[in-house]
Amino acid sequence: MATPDQKSPNVLLQNLCCRILGRSEADVAQQFQYAVRVIGSNFAPTVERDEFLVAEKIKKELIRQRREADAALFSELHRKLHSQGVLKNKWSILYLLLSLSEDPRKQPNKVSSYAALFAQALPRDAHSTPYYYARPQTLPLNYQDRGTQSAQSSGSMGSSGISSIGVYALNGPTPPPQSLLPGQPHHTPGVGDCLRQQLGSRLAWTLTANQPSSQTTTSKGLPNTVSRNVTRPRREGDASGAGEVTEAALVRDIVYVFQGIDGKHVKMDSVENRYKVEAKANLSKSLRDTTVRLAELGWLHNKIRKYTDQRSLDRSFGLVGQSFCAALHQELKEYYRLLSVLHSQLQLEDDQGVNLGLESSLTLRRLLVWTYDPKIRLKTLAALVDHCQGRKGGELASAVHAYTKTGDPYVRSLVQHILSLVSHPVLSFLYRWIYDGELEDTYHEFFVASDPAVKTDRLWQDKYTLRRSMIPSFITMDQSRKVLLIGKSINFLHQVCHDQTPTTKMIAVTKSADSPQDAADLFTDLENAFRGKIDAAYFETSKYLLDVLNKKYSLLDHMQAVRRYLLLGQGDFIRHLMDLLKPELVRPATTLYQHNLTGILETAVRATNAQFDSPEILKRLDVRLLEVSPGDTGWDVFSLDYHVDGPIATVFTRECMSHYLRVFNFLWRAKRMEYILTDIRKGHMCNAKLLRNMPEFSGVLHHCHILASEMVHFIHQMQYYITFEVLECSWDELWNKVQQAQDLDHIIAAHEVFLDTIISRCLLDADSRALLNQLRAVFDQIIELQNTQDAIYRAALEELQRRLQFEEKKKQNEVEGRWGVTAAEEEEENRRIQEFRESIPKMCSQLRILAHFYQVLAGPGPHWCVPAVDRCHQNGCGAAVPGAADDQLRREPALPELQAGLQRALRGPRAEAAGVPGLPRAAWLSRVSPPVSPGAACAGDCGSR
């Protein structure tokens, strides 16, 4: 059994060296130390599968051949190839192209370009700090001083051996190894050759290359004096002159500055916030300017790194912000890969002793060329960081999207890549919202906001809203409105309509942004692909919702029912209901009972065409009593009501139903005025024949008829205006909009416009309050006329009854053979008749007062009523004075001021549409429905006299 010491790495490696070289442990001490150094290093394999490194080698090779245009074209093609994702093994293809481009006749051992120096692969894990190569701490080695070692191995090709690995990695196959021992022929086989074939020629060749050689040239074919005899300036910046800073020291400082670390001579100035070269450093102006230009890369790096470090730990920054930080980290990672390559090059130069004068060495000017593209990228990232300060969510995505509008294809490609990463959470929110109706926005980044405190009955109106500041600039306002409606429709169906139909049955096409690549593909076709997805989901979801509302909940039927009952569209039902309610509503409002009125309502429904409506509609129709004020009658507090609930209540909200109640009260009162005037006309026609034997009373009857005719004309004109110009026209517009509606919002908006229109045109808005008060005063005058006429008719009929009784008694006495009347009875009768005639002026005064108030309220139309009363009183019989007075009576009264107000309320193209261009609205109304002239109104009565 072997002891643990014999299995240690040191012992095994030393035995391996002894067997390969065929010498004792004391003779292979130097080779053993070198082998430990190689194994203890952290270099990656010789050929690293690094696409970035191979691309850089190709580009630098093209630049070395002075083919800058081809290098730029290659960079653009490589970026396009990287973004397409068509090929999987892009590194292999690039490596093959690079290998085919090399000249096989070229000497493989000459370090002739930066590409050869960059052949060393990157470490597998790139870090933000330079990559230091350290030996394992478990191997106790005593290295000699580098200068001593270099002097002892002046005949070798290099002090590291890694140069051979790096140079031959991409420049061709490994050359045949030299003899392992000094003086041993090349063709002589031995243990070393066998072991070399087993372990690989690379390690054996590098170990052999480290041995002192008596040849005048190395295996590379270069004279030893070229690489070793020329003294190379030290990278640590040892001055070759008094106070002078070498370019080698500046190069090392700049590599540190690239990472945000102060160098020995280049440091950050916190006052000016930039890197500066020490003033005491002895530098030429060109070197100082070049160093400052290169140091800008470190300042940009610090700016970006500071932002990412601050925001990465801020959870309130949200998913979009974290995606932005991840995109910046990804770009910095590529930047760090370049820094690792630069630091590896410095390490190789230190290990190989490459002179600054050689073509392969790092200089400030070469750094300017190699960092040109990274500097552009960092400048773009720094500008994004500045522009995105204080932004989050969709607002941050808009800020990034603004930088895609540039003419530089390189910058645009970079920003589009970052935008695809940043917008991925936004698109994930969006697709989950439009396809599932789910909204999980913990940090308020999405442009759709939800208020959990809102109840279900207000879900459509208040629960979901748009955050306008969070709408990304690549999504239009119309698209954001559609996105809001899609998710809102899905939640409305599930929570309010209780429809659990899966979303996949509503929306045929479902696609989500599962990865940033999907988001990037989507951004390539925002105008078609993205808009198509939104439009398809919007139309299908909205159509399904409207179908559910119309078929399952009969939305259109309810709208028509409200039109028929609350807007008095069902004429036979309203007239019969008013006839049945008249005995109840003339009573004081405090004596009414709702159940009695409800029974009357049901009777009116059964007796008219309303009985053929759906039971679902009729059960929602009810009676409502308004708040009672002192002196109110049943007419003042009665109202119809229509109960709505469920999804229908989304359209017929409480505010809408309160508007309907106001309109119903106005229309109900106007309909009552028409009803009262109809009763007045009936009473006048009936009583005119009864009072024919009272000629002194005919003038009062004539005046009542004229005043009533004026009021009838006024009410007819107003009813025509309300019915046709307001209700029918507005309802027609509403119905057309509802039939063409694409979503529920369109129906709600059309319904609100309809209500606003009828409220405004019915003089119920704030601007028409004075006119409405005047109209209500006119209504009061109509009621007053009814009461006055009833009182006059009662007095006249009582007088007529007494006169008939007196004549009947007179005839009875004559039949019995007595005197018809005595002198006392005749005197009593004449006194009573005289008292009645004396009361006629009082009646005329009452009518004159009514006519005066009506003239003040309704306008100058009835100005002829007052002189007509005077003439009737002066002539005794009430006959009108012929001549000018008749012409005045026949003169058509002017339209009331109210109709002028209606004209202002209804100003528009309706009259011209009716074929009366340029005609005032009120005049058009008068032409359509001409007023009853005073002469015509009394023609029948006067003729009867």
pLDDT in tens, 404-424: 988 999 999 999 999 999 999
Confirm if 278 and 295 have CB atoms less than 8 A apart: no
Question: What's the rounded Cα separation, in Å, for the pair 6 and 561?
Answer: 102
Residue 218 backbone phi and psi in degrees, to 5: -85, 175
User: Which one has a higher pLDDT value, 207 or 732?
Assistant: 732
Tens digits of per-residue pLDDT, 387-398?
999 999 999 999
DSSP character for 244?
A: B
Identity of residue 464: Y
Task: State in Å, rounded, how far the first CA of the chain is from the last one.
Answer: 153
Report the relative pairing of strands 621-625 and 638-642 from DSSP bridges: antiparallel
Within 13 Å of residue 216, how many CA atoms lie on the same side as its CB?
0
Q: Phi and psi at residue 306, in whole multiples of 5°?
A: -60, -40
DSSP string, 135-203: --TTS---PPPHHHHHHHTTTSS-SSSHHHHHHHHHHSSPPPP--SSTT--SS---HHHHHHHHH-HHH
Q: What distance in Å separates the CA atoms of residue 424 and residue 320, rounded to the nearest whole number?
A: 8
Amino acid 167: pLDDT? 32
What six digits make up the tokens of 84?
A: 């397409």
CB environment 810-819: b (16+ within 10 A), e (fewer)? beeeeeeeee
Alpha-carbon span 943 to 945, nearest angstrom: 5
Among residues 305, 304, 277, which one has the least CA distance to residue 293? 277
Please give the mean pLDDT across all residues of the chain. Answer: 75
pLDDT band with cut points at 50, 70 and 90 for residue 585: very high
pLDDT band at residue 848 using 50, 70 and 90 as cut-offs = confident
- How far apart are alpha carbons 34 and 161 in whole angstroms? 9
Q: Is the pLDDT of residue 375 over 90?
A: yes
Count other Cβ atoms within 10 Å, centred on residue 841.
13
DSSP for 877-933, please give it: S-PPPSTHHHHHHHSPPPPPHHHHHHHHHT-STHHHHTT-TT--HHHHHHHHSPPPP
User: Which residues, 6+ apart, have CB-to-CB distance to 377 below 8 Å?
Assistant: 331, 335, 414
8 Å CB contact between 400 and 388: yes
Whether 930 has a pLDDT exceeding 50, the answer reads: no
DSSP strand pairing (464-466 vs 448-450):
antiparallel
H/E stretch holding 650: helix 648-651
Model confidence at 939, pLDDT cuts 50, 70, 90, reads very low
pLDDT attached to residue 63: 86
- Cα separation, 760 vs 535, whole angstroms: 36
Closest listed residue to residue 18, CA positions, set 4, 3, 29, 8? 29
- The dihedrals phi and psi of 641, each to the nearest 5 degrees, come to -135, 150
Rounded to whole angstroms, the Cα distance separating 10 from 37 reads: 12
DSSP β-ladder status, 274-277 and 266-269: antiparallel
Percent of the chain at pLDDT exceeding 90: 37
83-100 residues labelled b (16+ CB within 10 A) or e (exposed): eeeeeeebbeebbeebee
The pLDDT assigned to 522 comes to: 64
Average pLDDT estimate for 214-237: 36
Read off the pLDDT of each residue in 196-212 and give the average, rounded to a whole number: 36
The ranges assigned to domains in the chain are 22-85, 247-352+359-390, 431-553, 569-647, 653-857
* Residue with tokens 């773009």, as numbered in its chain: 380
Q: For residues 425 and 438, is the Cβ–Cβ distance under 8 A?
A: no
Helix (H) or strand (E) holding 460: none
249, 265 in Cβ contact below 8 A?
Answer: yes
C-alpha pair distances (Å), 248 with each of 108, 115, 166, 354: 27, 20, 22, 11
> Does the pLDDT value for residue 163 go beyond 70?
no
Give mean pLDDT, residues 254-263. Answer: 91
Yes or no: say if 750 and 741 are a contact pair by the CB < 8 Å rule. yes
pLDDT band at 511 (very low <50, low <70, confident <90, very high): low
pLDDT of residue 52: 80
**Residue type present at position 15:** N
Provide the pLDDT for residue 303: 94
The pLDDT tens digits of the residues spanning 719-765 come to: 999 999 999 999 999 999 999 999 999 999 999 999 999 999 999 99
Q: How far apart are CA 96 and CA 101, in angstroms?
A: 9
Choose the weakest-confidence range: 142-156, 266-280, 459-473, 603-617: 142-156
Q: What DSSP element (H or E) covers 268?
A: strand 266-269
3-state secondary structure of 282: strand
Q: Judge residue 200's burial from the number of C-beta atoms within 10 Å of its C-beta, 0-12 exposed, 13-18 middle, 19 or more buried.
A: exposed
**Within 388-457, where are the H helices?**
393-402, 409-436
Q: How do residues 300-316 score in pLDDT, each as one tens digit?
A: 999 999 999 988 888 88
pLDDT at 489 over 90: yes
For 576-595, letters b (16+ CB in 10 Å) and e give: bbbebbeebbeeebeebeee
Rounded to whole angstroms, the Cα distance separating 726 from 758 reads 6
Instruction: Kindly report the number of other CB atoms within 10 A of residue 619's CB atom.
Output: 9
Under a CB-based contact definition with an 8 Å cutoff, are residues 609 and 571 in contact? no
Which helix (H) or strand (E) element contains residue 354?
A: none
Copy the structure tokens of residue 751. Answer: 């319904």
Tokens at residue 240, please? Answer: 């070759």
Q: Is 817 left (phi over 0), alpha (psi -120 to 50) or beta?
A: left
Cα 74 to Cα 60, 82, 91, 759, 874: the distances in Å are 11, 12, 14, 72, 117
Helix (H) or strand (E) holding 586: none
- H helix intervals, 820-896: 823-858, 865-875, 884-890
Segment of 407-411, 453-457, 558-562, 930-934 carrying the highest mean pLDDT: 558-562
Q: Name 450's bridge partners.
A: 464
Torsion of CA 805, 809, 810, 815, to 10 degrees: 140
Three-state SS for 284-349 is: CHHHHHHHHHHHHHHHHHHHHHHHHHHHHCCHHHHHHHHHHHHHHHHHHHHHHHHHHHHHHHHHHH
Amino acid at 236: E
pLDDT at 829 over 60: yes
pLDDT at 219 over 50: no
The predicted-structure confidence for 903-912, as pLDDT tens digits, reads as follows 444 443 333 3
Cα-only R_g, the chain? 53
Distance CA 291, CA 247 (A): 10
d(CA 945, CA 939): 10
Phi, psi of 130 (to 5 degrees): -60, 155
Using CA atoms, how far apart are residues 307 and 298, in angstroms rounded to an integer?
14
Q: Is 628 helix (H, G, I), strand (E, B) or coil?
A: coil
Instruction: Tell me which amino acid residue 692 is.
Output: R
